[in-house]
Amino acid sequence: MNTVFSNIIENSKKYTAQGSVASYIPELSKANPNDLGIYAVSLDGNEYFAGDFDKKFTLQSISKIITLMLAIMDNGEQKVFSYVGAEPTGDSFNSIASLEVKSLHKPYNPMINAGAILTSSLILGSSTEEKIERILNFTKKLANNENISINESTYLSEKATGDRNRALAYFMKSYNSMEGNVDEILDVYFSHCSIEVTCKDIAKIGAVLASDGILPWSGERIVPKEICRITKTIMVTCGLYDASGEFAIHIGIPAKSGVGGGILSAVPKKMGIGVYGPALDAKGNSVAGIQVLQQLSERLDLNIF
Amino acid sequence: MNTVFSNIIENSKKYTAQGSVASYIPELSKANPNDLGIYAVSLDGNEYFAGDFDKKFTLQSISKIITLMLAIMDNGEQKVFSYVGAEPTGDSFNSIASLEVKSLHKPYNPMINAGAILTSSLILGSSTEEKIERILNFTKKLANNENISINESTYLSEKATGDRNRALAYFMKSYNSMEGNVDEILDVYFSHCSIEVTCKDIAKIGAVLASDGILPWSGERIVPKEICRITKTIMVTCGLYDASGEFAIHIGIPAKSGVGGGILSAVPKKMGIGVYGPALDAKGNSVAGIQVLQQLSERLDLNIF
Amino acid sequence: MNTVFSNIIENSKKYTAQGSVASYIPELSKANPNDLGIYAVSLDGNEYFAGDFDKKFTLQSISKIITLMLAIMDNGEQKVFSYVGAEPTGDSFNSIASLEVKSLHKPYNPMINAGAILTSSLILGSSTEEKIERILNFTKKLANNENISINESTYLSEKATGDRNRALAYFMKSYNSMEGNVDEILDVYFSHCSIEVTCKDIAKIGAVLASDGILPWSGERIVPKEICRITKTIMVTCGLYDASGEFAIHIGIPAKSGVGGGILSAVPKKMGIGVYGPALDAKGNSVAGIQVLQQLSERLDLNIF
Amino acid sequence: MNTVFSNIIENSKKYTAQGSVASYIPELSKANPNDLGIYAVSLDGNEYFAGDFDKKFTLQSISKIITLMLAIMDNGEQKVFSYVGAEPTGDSFNSIASLEVKSLHKPYNPMINAGAILTSSLILGSSTEEKIERILNFTKKLANNENISINESTYLSEKATGDRNRALAYFMKSYNSMEGNVDEILDVYFSHCSIEVTCKDIAKIGAVLASDGILPWSGERIVPKEICRITKTIMVTCGLYDASGEFAIHIGIPAKSGVGGGILSAVPKKMGIGVYGPALDAKGNSVAGIQVLQQLSERLDLNIF
C-alpha cells in the first residue's frame, strides 16, 4: 500500500513546476517549491506516507475548519450561523464587495477570510492569549501531537501585512456584523493561521473528521457528530477557495487547503489525508497536491458522490 | 417502511402553509399549495410513496440536470466546461451582474439560468424540434415512462414572460460566450422547463443517478459513471439555488429543486427520491419538501458527509 | 479668427496617431483615422472652420442628446426622469451590472446605452417609422439641413451586432423598467445612431443648445429653455462616457461624443462647435478631437467654471 | 435684496420638516432640525443674509474641497490625480465595492470618502498636528476668520464611530493605493471634518472659489486659478453625493454639501453662498437648503448652463 502512495508522489512531482510558493509574506516564500509529501491515517488503524511528509508548514486557511468547529462547540450552531452564512460563493477568498452589496452584510461562509475572522471573534476566552491557547490546545488534541506550536515569525509577518484583513474586519464592525476589538480578533486570526504542522498532523485531524468526531487512536469523542458533518459539508462546497466546485467534481473528497501548501482531507468513515506541496496555482491551492489527491481518489475509489 | 414515508408527509404537511406557489407565470400559480407527496425508488428494487405522489408538475429547474448530462454526453466534459463553469455562486439564479464583472464572462455553473441556457445551446440536433425531442426522449428513458410530455400552456407562459432569460442569452451572445440563435436556444430551454412529471418520474431519474448511470430496472447503462458523479456533485454545491449550502449542511443529499415544486434527490448507491410540494420559500425551494427530505435523511441516515 | 482654428487643427493632427477607429461594426472601421476637422457657429452670426469639416460621419451616441430633448418635449420632464435617472456613473456606457444591483433597476442617466434605449422608447409616434421620421426631422431642424439622412448600411451593421443592446433592453423589460416591443425600440435606437452628419451639422445643433433653444439663424424657438439646460448639464456630467469628469475639469464645456468620431459642444450663450476625428481613445472618445477642444477652450476662454 | 433672501428662507422653512438630522454621531444629532440660514458674499463687495446664518455647524464633507485644493497646491495636479480619479460615480459616498471591482483600485473622485481620505494623506507636514494645523490655517484664510476652530467633541465622536472609514483606508493600503499610517491619516481626516463654521464662513470660501482664487476682500491670490476651476468642476459633478446630477440639472451651481447641514456654493464670477439646514434627506443633503438654492438660482439667474 505504501507503494501506491510512493508512486503517486513520484507521478505528481512534475506538477510542482507549474506553481509557485506564496510570496505575500516573506516566511511563506522561503518554502521549497519542489517539496511534495503525503500522510494518510485510516480509521482501521493503518498509516501510510511518502515524500516530504515530515516537512513543517503553517496551517494558514486550513485553520479555518478548526476554529469553525471550536466556535460551534463554544456557541452552538445557531449562534455561529446567525453571524456567518453557509453558502458557497464564486468570489475570491478576500473579497469585500459582496459584504457591501448583499443586504445582510454577513460573510457568505466561514471559509472566506471575512467569515473566518468572524468565527475567530466567537472563540471563547477571557483574554486574547487564552483564546489562542484554546485553539492551539484543540489543534494538538485533534492532531494527537503535544509539540505543535505557533511559528512566531510567520505570525509577525501576517500581522505586518494584514491590511486587507483589517479592512474586512473594520467593514464588518461598521455594519455591526461583528463584535469585539479588531486588533485583538486579528491577533487570534493571525495566530491560528501561523500554527505549524506536518502532513501527519493534518492527516490525523482529517481522520477525526472522517470518524465523525471520535479520536480513532483512543475512541474518545471530542467533537459532536453534527459539527463534523457541517464542517465536512462546508469543506466540499467551499474548501478550495473558488476552485471548490472543480475539486468536488473531479476528486469528491471533503478537503481544505491553505496557502502554506497543505491540503487536509477527510474521507467519511475511511481516512484522513494530509498533503503538502507549497507550489500553488493561481487560486492559491497546491498544484501538485491536487494531482496527488485526484490520483489517490481514483486509485482507492474515495469519491463520495 | 411505507409508514415511515406516510408519517413524514403527515409531520411536514403543516410547513406548506409557510410558503406560496410560484406566481410569475399563470400556469404555476394554479397549483394547490397544500399538496405534498413523495416517491422513492431504492436500488435494491423497492418503491415507497406517500401523499400526493401522483400529482403532475413541470420540471422547471430540475430539467437543468437532465440537459447537463445530455450536453456532456453530446460534447464531452471538456467542451461543456469550456463554456460554463463548475463553481457554486452566492448570487441568485437569474443574476446577470457577475457575467459582466467576472473576466471570463462565462456562467458560474450549469444550475443558474445563464449556465442552463448555455447547456441547452449545446444539445445536438439538426433542428430545434429535434433537440427538444432528444431531451424529452432522454427524460422518458431516465424516468422509465413513455407518457411524459411537455405541458404546452406552461411552455407558452414561459415564452411570454421570458425577458430576463432573453437578456441573459443576448448578453452571453454579445460576449461570444454562447453560439447559436437566441430564440431557438430559448425555445429548447423553455420546452425542457415545461416537461410534466410526477414524483415517481423524478424518483426514477434520481435512482439512475444513484446507481451511477445504470437503469436499476433493466441493468442497462445509459449515462457514463463520470457524468453521473459530476452531476451529483453539482447538485450538492448548486442544486437548491442560493440555499444549496444550508441544504447540504443539514440534509447532505445531492438534490435539485424547481419552482414547479419538485425536488429530485439521488442518494449515492442507495435510492432516488422525488418530492413534490408547490408552496415555495423565498429562495424558490419547496418549503415542506425540504422538511420531508430533512426528516428522511435523519431517519434513514442518508447524509453522505 | 479662422487662423486660430487652422492652427489648432494643425497642432492637434499628430494626436490622431494615438487612437484607432471603432471596429465593432464594419462601417465605422472604414473611416480615415487621420481625419480631423472643426466647425463653429457663434451666436453672433459668425462661422469658422478648418480641416476635414465636411467629412460625413454617423452621430452614434451624439444622437442621445437629440432623443433626450425630443423625449422630454414629447412626455414632460417628470415622466422621462421617472424612467431614467440624471446621475452620472463611473460605469462604462454599456454596463448592465448596476441595473441589477441598484434597487430601482432604472438606468443612471440618458447618456449610457440603457438610458438612451429608454428615451428612444418614449418618443411618440404611431409606428416605428413615424418615430424615426420625427427624430430625423427634429435633427434636420436643429442642424438647419434638409439633406440629413440615415446611413442605411451603418444601420444594418448596428442591428446585426446589437446583442449587447438587446440584452440591456430585455433586462429592463424583465423589470418592467421599460414598455414597448424590444425589436421596435431598438430599430428606433439603431436608426438615430446611424444619422449621417458633418461637423457643420453638429455645430449648428450645438448653437441651438448654446442659445437655450432658439435657432440663431431665424430666431425661432424650437426647444424650451429648461430642456436645453437639462441637456447641457447632463452633457457636462455624462457626455464623454467615463471620461466626462476629466473632460469637464480640463475643458469645461458641455459636450457629447460618439464612436463615429464626432464631438458636439455647446458653449452657453456663445457658440456651438462640431469636431470630427474618428481615431478614438480607449474610452471611445476622439483622441485628437479632445485636444482640439482643450486648445480652443484655453484660447477663447470657453471654460464655464 | 436682503428681502429676497428673507423671503426665500421663509418659503423654504417648511421643507425642514421633511428631513432629519444626522444621527450616526451624537454631536450631529444635537442640531435643531428647524434651523435654516443663508449668507451670500458677492464679488462686488456686498453681503446678504437671512435666517439662522450665525449658527455654528461642522464642515463634514464640505472640508473635502478644502483639502483637495491644499493637496493639489502641495503636490501638483498630476500627482494628486495619479492617486485619485476625477470621475463622478453613481455609488454612495462610503461605498467600498467599486474599489475592489475596478481594475485600478483607486477612488473615483475626491468627494467620496475613500478619495477624501486619500487627499488627506497627501497634505504636507512633518507631523499629524502640523498637517491639521495647515488645513485649519488654510480654512481660516479662505474664510477670513481667525476664530475658526475644531469642535473637539465632534472629532472624538467621528473617531469613535469611524470603522467604515478605517475599512476604506486599510483597503486602499492593502492595494498600495495609499501611503502612510492609517490612524494618523484618519486623524487628519476626522479633524478637518470637525472644523466648526457658520454660513458666513463658507460663503466667504465660496466667494474665493467664485473669484478664481483671489480673496475678494483684499485682492490677494491664495489659490491658483486652475485649481479653483478643477474644484468647482468636481463640485458640479460630485458635490452632492449621488444627488449631484439632479442638483446640477435643476440648480446649476457648483456646490458641496456636508452631513452637518451646510452647503457651500460658488457662482463663478458672481458670489459665494453658504446655506445651513441640518435636516437632511435620504442622500445626506440639507432638504431645505436645496430648496433655498433652487429658488435663489431661479430668482437671480445663477444657473451656469
**D203 and D55 belong to one structural domain:** yes
3-state helix/strand/coil string of D138-195: HHHHHHCCCCCEECHHHHHHHHHCCHHHHHHHHHHHHCCCCCCCHHHHHHHHHHHHCE
Residues paired with A51 in a beta bridge: A37
The per-residue pLDDT for C91 is: 73
Please indicate whether residue B102 is annotated as part of the active site.
Answer: no
Chains in touch with D (≥3 Cβ pairs < 8 A): A, C
The answer to whether C169 touches C181, Cβ cutoff 8 Å, is no
Which residues of chain A have a CB within 8 Å of the CB of D25?
none
**Residue B104, Cβ density class (10 Å: 0-12 exposed, 13-18 middle, ≥19 buried):** exposed
Task: Write down the pLDDT at residue C25.
Answer: 84
Cell output for A52: 516530504
Domain boundary among A143, A158, A193: A193
Query: Is A277 in contact with A289 (CB distance < 8 Å)?
Result: yes
Nearest to A236 among B87, B90, B236 (CB): B236
**What DSSP designation does B215 have?**
-
The predicted-structure confidence for B85-108, as pLDDT tens digits, reads as follows 998 887 777 777 777 766 678 899
Q: Are residues A189 and A205 in the same domain?
A: no
- Contact between chains at A248 and B268 (C-beta distance less than 8 A): no
Q: Catalytic residue at D189?
A: yes
Chain segment B177-202, per-residue pLDDT in tens: 999 999 999 999 999 999 999 999 99
CA distance D51 to chain A (A): 36
- Of the listed D15, D48, D83, D241, which one is catalytic? D241
d(C-alpha D275, C-alpha C115), whole Å? 33
Q: Is the domain of D183 the same as that of D207?
A: no
Residue C165 phi, psi (nearest 5): -65, -35
Minimal Cβ distance to A167: which of D95, D101, D174: D174
- The answer to whether A131 touches A125, Cβ cutoff 8 Å, is yes
Looking at residue D182, what is its pLDDT? 98
CA distances from B90 to A90, A91, A116, A254, B246 (A): 7, 8, 17, 20, 12
Neighbours of C180 (CB within 10 A): 15
Q: Looking at residue A103, what is its pLDDT?
A: 62
Q: For D201-208, what is the mean pLDDT?
A: 98
CB A210 within 8 A of CB A271: yes
Residues linked to residue B255 through DSSP beta bridges, in sequence order:
B265
Per-residue pLDDT of chain A (305 residues; tens, 9 = 90+): 789 999 999 999 999 999 999 988 888 999 999 999 999 999 999 999 999 999 999 999 999 999 999 999 999 999 999 999 998 887 777 777 777 766 678 899 999 999 999 999 999 999 999 999 999 999 999 999 999 999 999 999 999 999 999 999 999 999 999 999 999 999 999 999 999 999 999 999 999 999 999 999 999 999 999 999 999 999 999 999 889 999 999 999 999 999 999 999 999 999 999 999 999 999 999 999 999 999 999 999 999 99
Decide which of C138, C169, C193 is a domain's last residue: C193
Angle between helices D225-238 and D63-75 (to 10 degrees): 140
D68 within a domain of the structure (yes/no) = yes
Q: Are both B23 and B93 inside the same structural domain?
A: no
Residue C68 and residue C89 share a domain? yes
- For residue B102, the distance in angstroms to the closest alpha carbon of chain A comes to 9
- D117-170 pLDDT, tens digit per residue, is 999 999 999 999 999 999 999 999 999 999 999 999 999 999 999 999 999 999
Look at residue C305 and tell me if it is in a domain.
Answer: no
What is residue A89's predicted lDDT score, i.e. its pLDDT?
A: 80
| Contacts made by residues B10-13, CB under 8 angstroms, sequence distance 24+ | B11/B291, B11/B295, B12/B36, B12/B277, B12/B288, B12/B291, B12/B292, B12/B295, B13/B51, B13/B288
Answer yes or no: is B27 within a domain.
yes
How many Cβ atoms sit within 10 Å of the Cβ of residue B276? 31
Q: Please state, in angstroms and as integers, the Cα–Cα distance from residue C132 to each residue in A144, C66, C71, following that order.
A: 79, 12, 12
- Nearest-angstrom CA–CA distance, B233 and B224: 15
Q: Identify whether residues C168 and C82 lie together within a single domain.
A: yes
Q: Which chains form contacts with chain C, at 3 or more CB pairs under 8 Å?
A: B, D
Return the residue of A nearest to B102 by Cα: A91
The β-bridge partners of C255 are: C265
The pLDDT of D174-180, averaged and rounded, is 94
Q: Does the beta-carbon distance from D167 to A164 stay under 8 Å?
A: no
Residue D150 belongs to some domain of the structure: yes
Contact C245 D91 (CB under 8 A): no
Same domain for C189 and C215?
A: no
Its ipTM equals 0.93
Chain D residues in contact with A171 (beta carbon < 8 A):
96, 163-164, 167, 171
Active site residues of C: 61, 64, 189, 241, 259
Confidence of residue B140 (pLDDT cuts 50, 70, 90): very high
Rounded Cα–Cα distance for residues B164 and B113 (Å): 9
Contact A118, A107 (CB under 8 A): yes
In A197-232, which positions are buried (b, 16+ CB within 10 angstroms) versus exposed (e)? bbbbbbbbbbbbbbbbbbbbeeeeeebeeebbbbbb
Q: What values do phi and psi take at A39, rounded to 5? A: -145, 135
One-letter amino acid of D157: S
Residue C25 lies in a domain: yes
Residues D154 and D246 placed together within one structural domain of the fold: no
List residues in chain C touching D: CB distance below 8 A: 85-91, 98, 102, 108-109, 229-230, 232-234, 236-238, 242-246, 248-249, 252, 254, 268, 303-305
Q: Do C122 and C208 share a domain, yes or no? A: no
**pLDDT confidence of C103, banded at 50, 70, 90?**
low
Give the gap in angstroms from C-alpha B174 to the nearest C-alpha of chain C: 5
- Whole-number Å distance between alpha carbons of D93 and D116: 10
Given the C-alpha cell 429653455, which residue does it identify? C225
Cα(C61)–Cα(C71) distance, integer angstroms: 15
Nearest to A108 by CA among B95, B251, D164, B246: B246
Phi-psi region of C232 (alpha: psi -120 to 50; beta: other; left: phi over 0): alpha
Show which of C153, C177, C193 is a domain's final residue.
C193
Residue in B90, B237, B248 nearest the CB of A108? B90
Phi, psi of B71 (to 5 degrees): -65, -40
- Please count the other Cβ atoms lying within 10 Å of the Cβ belonging to residue B212: 20
Active site residue D259: yes
Vertex B31 angle, CA B30 and B34, to 5°: 135
Residues D188 and D153 in one domain: yes
The contacts of residue C96 (CB under 8 Å, 6+ apart) are B96, B97, B100, B167, B171, C114, C167, C168, C171
By the 8 A CB rule, do C46 and C1 touch?
Answer: yes
User: How do strand B57-58 and strand A262-267 relate by DSSP bridges?
Assistant: unpaired
pLDDT at D205 over 90: yes
> Cell for C265?
459642444
Minimum Cα–Cα distance from D91: chain A residue: A101
Among the listed ranges A71-75, B52-56, C139-143, D86-90, which one has the minimum average pLDDT value?
D86-90
Q: For B169, which residue in chain C has the nearest alpha carbon?
A: C167
B95 chain-A contacts, CB cut-off 8 A: none
CATH number at residue C207: 3.40.710.10
Chain D closest-CA separation from residue C85 CA (Å): 8
Is B305 part of any domain? Answer: no
- Which of B88, B230, B232 lies closest to A88 in CB terms? B88
User: In terms of domains, do A38 and A124 share one?
Assistant: no
Q: In this complex, which of B98, B108, B248 lies closest to A233 when CB atoms are compared? A: B248
Angle at A65 between CA A64 and CA A67, to 5 degrees: 65
CA distances from B162 to B12, B99, B176, D229 (A): 33, 18, 21, 50
DSSP code of residue D260: T
> Which whole number is the average pLDDT over C179-184?
97
Residues A40 and A203 sit within 8 Å (Cβ to Cβ): yes
| Residues of A at the D interface, defined by Cβ within 8 angstroms | 95-97, 100-101, 163-164, 166-171, 173-174, 182
Domain that holds residue B163: 61-193
Q: Which of D7, D22, D12, D17 is nearest to D241 (CA)?
A: D22
Catalytic, A174? Answer no
Query: Does D39 reside within a domain?
Result: yes
Say how far apart CA A295 and CA A301 lie, in whole Å.
Answer: 10
SS3 at position D261: coil
**A168: distance to nearest CA of chain D, Å?**
7
| 3-state secondary structure (DSSP) of residue B109 | coil
Q: Are residues C125 and C228 in the same domain?
A: no
Query: Is D288 part of a structural domain of the chain?
Result: yes
Nearest chain A residue (CA) to D24: A174
**Backbone angles phi and psi of A84, in degrees to 5:** -135, 140
Q: How confident is the model at residue D100 (pLDDT cuts 50, 70, 90)?
A: confident
- Calculate ∠ Cα C90-C91-C97, nearest 5°: 140
Among chain A residues, the shortest Cα distance to D164 is held by A174
Report the pLDDT averaged over residues B32-59. 97
Edge-to-edge strands, sheet with D57-58: D57-58, D195-197, D149-150
- How many separate domains does chain C show? 2
pLDDT at position C243 over 70: yes
Give me the total of CB pairs closer than 8 Å, taking one residue from chain B and one from chain C: 56
B108 is catalytic: no
